Amino acid sequence: MQFLDQSEIRIEAGKGGDGVISWRREKYVPKGGPDGGNGGKGGDVIFEADPQLSTLLDFRYKKVHKADDGDKGGGKNCTGHNGADIIIRVPPGTIIREALTGNVLADLTEPFQRIVVAKGGKGGLGNWEFATATNQAPRKQTNGKPGESFDLELELKLLADVALVGFPNAGKSTLISRISAAKPKIADYPFTTLVPNLGIVQAPEEHRSFVVADVPGLIEGASEGKGLGLQFLRHIERSRVLLFLLDGTELADLTPKEAYKVLHRELKQYNPVLLTKPIIIAITKADAMGDDERKAASRLTIAKQHPLVISAVSGTNLDLLVRKIWDVLKTPAV
């Protein structure tokens, strides 16, 4: 799967159709007068959040999106047809910015949410509009107005209730494959996850669920652009809960406490607001730890909490973890 979470495009709304100069020509109706119709309105450029989409990849190949122009007016006071709108479908979570100013024009967070970003131009007036008692044969019309046009920056920030935060090989992909129906690529080498994965998890309460995002692993210096972290840190911003996954085995380069400090620092340097979210900490790979190691890990205090020791391979404490996440999610935000 290819993933693209940023793109630049140009949009152009349609031009309004021109008004026309026309004269009524009918048998037995001398000096029929003006009957030039108005031009039609140009088409709008509309963005819609499509829940079937998960990437901005389509915009890599098509950079210009233009709505139809309005038709010019006709005789017998006929107004030209309006230009057809163009609907541009993007994944929910897409932010639309004007490239020149950086102003946010829209933030589409709800499925099927729509917004008109560029309005089509108004149609011009035909000479019928200019007829008056003192000017019964006007030879005047106006042209249609141009539609709005923008160079845009599109940025996708995934919408997830829970973001998994951890180093490569911390077990994020394995966890999401066990607690949801997602099937991410899993291997024993770093950076197996090259694109974010979303999984829907069944909550302990009937007919309730939540969404978990498996974001590519961070490394020290991610907030400065090292590794894959900076490219995908934006996807953590919309989550309601951060779930830190820390490797508890002896093979890990850092102890769980050391790993948490590094991850905490990277998030703080990227965006301190992230650390105002509820945080849950879990130590992973309990299946590869001895009894004494598991007990020692469960007694650790990290960020004023005792982490849950889990194993996505054997399923150890996964039910407890899902329950703990759900308890946090259903608590109203302050």
Residue corresponding to tokens 């997830």: 160
Q: pLDDT for 13-33, tens place per residue?
A: 999 999 999 998 877 766 778
Separation between Cα atoms, residue 308 and residue 306, nearest integer Å: 7
Q: Where are the domains of the chain?
A: 1-156, 162-329
Predicted TM-score of the model (pTM): 0.75
Residue 121 CB-density burial (10 A; 0-12 exposed, 13-18 middle, 19+ buried): buried
CB 93 within 8 A of CB 238: yes
Mean pLDDT of all residues belonging to the chain: 87
H or E segment and range at residue 199: strand 197-202
Question: What's the whole-number mean pLDDT along residues 174-194?
Answer: 65
Sheet holding 279-284, edge to edge: 197-202, 209-214, 162-165, 241-247, 279-284, 308-309
Q: pLDDT for 68-104, tens place per residue?
A: 999 999 999 999 999 999 999 999 999 999 999 999 9
More confident residue, 139 or 169: 139
pLDDT of residue 182: 61
Separation between Cα atoms, residue 275 and residue 237, nearest integer Å: 10
53-78 b/e (C-beta count within 10 Å ≥ 16 → b): bbbbeebeeeeebbbbbbbbbbbebb
**181 pLDDT band (50/70/90 cuts)?**
confident
pLDDT for 197 beyond 90: no
pLDDT over 90 for what percent of the chain? 60
Q: Which pair of structure tokens corresponds to residue 210?
A: 């939540």
H or E segment and range at residue 264: helix 256-270
Q: Where are the alpha helices (DSSP H) in 26-184?
A: 172-179
Q: Dihedral angle at the C-alpha atoms of 282, 286, 292, 293, nearest 10 degrees? A: -60
More confident residue, 173 or 106: 106
For the domain 162-329, what is the CATH code?
3.40.50.300
Cβ neighbors of 58 (< 8 A, separation 6 or more) are none
For the domain 1-156, what is the CATH code?
2.70.210.12
